[in-house]
Structure formats: C-alpha cells, structure tokens
Amino acid sequence: MSSLSSRAKLFGAVAIAFACGLVFASGFDLTPFGWAQGRQAPARQASMTPATAPASVVELNTSFVGIAERVGPAVVSIAAERTEQPTAQRRPNIQRRNQPPGIEDFFQQFGPQEQQRPAFSSGTGFIVSKDGYILTNNHVVENMDRITVTLIDRRQLSARIVGRDPQTDVAVLKVTGTDLPVAAFGNDEAVKVGEWVLAIGNPLGLDHTVTAGIVSAKGRGSNDLRGLNTDRYAIQDFIQTDAAINPGNSGGALVDSQGNLIGINTAIYSRSGGSLGIGFAIPISIARNVMEQIIQTGVVTRGWIGVEAQEITIDLAESFGLPDTSGALIAGVLRSSPADAGGIKPGDILLAVGGRPVKDPQGMLDLIAGQKPGETVSFQLRRQNKLFDTTVKIGKRAPQRRERE
C-alpha cells in the first residue's frame, strides 16, 4: 500500500508540474501555434499590424478614383479626317503570268478613282476652358480638315483648328457646347521625380482609359532620346513616365496626384508599338504658353539671343575645371545680336537663364525660347573660371503663324 501511495503522490506531483509548466509557457507566449490556435493567429497579427498600412492603400485608391471621376469628363476622343484629291496617274502595267484567279480585280483598285480617298487619324485631347478650347498634339490633327470630338457622355461636337505649333507638337482646337467639363492646370515645374501621375486617354481606341505610374524623369531632351523621332520638335523638355501610354493616347492628359494637368502625353519608346513603360509628355507650362499666344495673337513668338552652343563633355569639364557637365559652352556669337550686346563671348559657359539652371544646349534653347521678346533677362556665366552675371534684352525668333482650316 505504501508503494501505491508513493506512486500516486509521484504522479500527482508530475501532473501538477506539467500543468504549472503550461500555464507558465502560455503566459510568456512560448508555445508554438497548433492547428487549433491557427484560427486565432490572424486576430493576434491584425492587432500588431500598423493601422496606417491599409489606410494608406485605401487613401491611394480613393485618390485615384476621385481623379478619374473629376478629370475624365474633360478628356475627349478625337477623330480627324482628311480628304485627298485623287491622282490621275496610272500604275505601270503589272506582269500577270501565272497569277491566281481574281488578281486582276485587285490590281484595278490602284487605277484612277472617281471618288476622293479619305485619310483618318485618331487621338485624345482635353478641354481647358468653359468656352470650349481643347489642347491636343499637332500630329493628331495635322493636315486634317474635318475633326469630331466625343465627350464621355457620348456627345459629339464638331471642332475647328484654332492653331498648330509643330515645334512643340501642340495644337489648339475649339468646340461650341454647353456645360463643358474642364481640366485644371497644374505646375509641372513643382512635380518631382518619383511622384504618382495618371495618364488619361484613348489607347488603341479604348475610350477614357486611366493608367497610373510615376514621374520617371524630367527635362528629357534630344541627347536623352536618341533613337526617337524627335528631330522635328524644336522645343524638347519632355516629362518621362512609366504610366502605360499606347497609340491613341497622343494628346491625352497627364495629371498629378491632385488631379491637375502637368503634361500632354505625346510619345512612347517602343520596339513593338506597345507600352514598355517609357512614355513622354510635353510639360503643361510649355503647352499653355503656346495656347495663350495662339489664342491672343495668332502667332507663337519665341525668344532669341543669337548664339551657338555645344555640349560640355567630361573632357571639356576637366579642361575647364568644372565640377560637372551641366551648362552650355558658347561656341559662337552673332555680331550685333542681343547676346553680343549683352557682353556674351565665345568660350563662355552659360549656367543659368533668368535664375533657372541650364542643363545642356537644348535646355538653354528652351529657356531662351520661353522668354518674351523685349524683356531684359539675367544670364549667369563662367569665364576663365570666374562666375559673372550679365543682362540681355531678348530678341525675337521668326514667328510661326497659326494654321487654320
């Protein structure tokens, strides 16, 4: 009996110790999750997750939805048509040996035609004023004589070309309508690389498509865009974005996280014709300046000072003792030009125009072109490793008149 009593006491002590161990371990959360505890794990994890993470996602989603609802109605689809006069010249006779049946009918299509042959173009634009002014790309409406814009509510309005500026690829259209939605202008200069942007347009004919991305780079010029057909643009200061842009997006709106316009989507870098996440937009400040000049005076007037400039290479920077390659090396100055009158000489390095830094020769030309003729503007230069400032009275580049229907 004594042995049984001893065993009972031993088992009791072990049971008590095991129970105490469980209580101790659970108190310090030392026991691993089992199948039964797995259901409670999410509750424990959710309580440890910062509340800001899901809230930020919801806020971003709400912001995008709000932007699309606010800006989308101001974005229009553009259908442009040109009627070509038929040519009287016949195609040369074609050898018809061993040709399949029906081939003669096919070749007859290329003879003189009694009817005119239409040509079509499509793209995007956006309304920027209550009285119906629309911004788009020049290449969307160039040489077209019949233009129709379609609003998000399916209204179709006839548009006329107020003016075009091939040098910036900007065109201004005008429609007449009531209760027209309007997109608000933003400040592209304040936008920073890495900020969220939305592209709204009609890619591949899909009306009012919204894509999101970030600003990938700013101030893209000819040196950055080698391989792209941008030579026809005299003003090159593109915003680069990875928001998906495809054919049909041309002329569409690029807006910031507040829903304000910062650019006109105008070009893509692509080997397949589709988006590779490398799209380019004309800064809205440039487009707005062009639009206002076209509306007010009928011409786009740009500043000019009469200099030739070249890029500062790494070797040149080292030889001049420069900290980097930014700026433009003045290679030539036209006699009796505004630059000559302002004391600018060959060999000077132009660093800033009107307080804005010069990145490269193309950037220099863009900054000077943006100045109003007749104004006196400060120029910062480096000569013989010394900084100095001068003022130049801006001249006028030969204007390009607006083109009407």
- pLDDT at position 105 over 60: no
Query: What's residue 306's pLDDT?
Result: 95
- pLDDT at position 44 over 60: no
d(CA 236, CA 168): 7
- pLDDT at position 97 over 50: no
Does domain 303-401 correspond to CATH entry 1.20.1050.90? no
Query: What's residue 276's pLDDT?
Result: 80
- pLDDT at position 102 over 90: no
- pLDDT at position 401 over 90: no
Catalytic residues: 139, 169, 250
The neighbouring-strand residues paired with 255 are 198, 261
In sign, the C-alpha dihedral spanning 56, 60, 63, 69 is negative
- pLDDT at position 33 over 80: no
pLDDT higher at 226 or 394? 394
**Could you read off the pLDDT of 187-206 as tens digits, one per residue?**
999 999 999 999 999 988 88
Query: Where are the chain's structural domains?
Result: 188-300, 303-401
Query: What's residue 197's pLDDT?
Result: 95
Question: Which residues lie below 8 Å from residue 146, measured CB to CB, with a gap of 6+?
Answer: 80, 81, 82, 83
Q: How confident is the model at residue 177 (pLDDT cuts 50, 70, 90)?
A: confident
Q: What is the DSSP letter of 354?
A: T
Please tell me the least confidently modeled range out of 5-9, 38-42, 111-115, 237-241. Answer: 38-42
CB 346 within 8 A of CB 308: no
For residues 240-268, average pLDDT: 92
Query: What's residue 91's pLDDT?
Result: 45
**Could you read off the pLDDT of 238-251 as tens digits, one per residue?**
999 999 988 889 99
pTM of the model: 0.71
**Do β-strands 133-137 and 117-127 pair in parallel, antiparallel, or remain unpaired?**
antiparallel
Query: What's residue 312's pLDDT?
Result: 94
For residues 100-108, average pLDDT: 36
**Could you read off the pLDDT of 300-331 as tens digits, one per residue?**
888 999 999 999 999 999 988 888 999 999 99
pLDDT over 90 percentage in the chain: 51
pLDDT higher at 293 or 102? 293
Q: How far apart are the first and last CA of the chain?
A: 119
The fold of 188-300 is: Thrombin, subunit H (2.40.10)
In sign, the C-alpha dihedral spanning 213, 218, 221, 223 is negative
The DSSP string of 46-86 is: HHHS-THHHHHHHHHHHHHHHHHHHHGGGEEEEEEEEEEPP
- pLDDT at position 110 over 50: no
> What's the token pair of residue 79?
């259908």
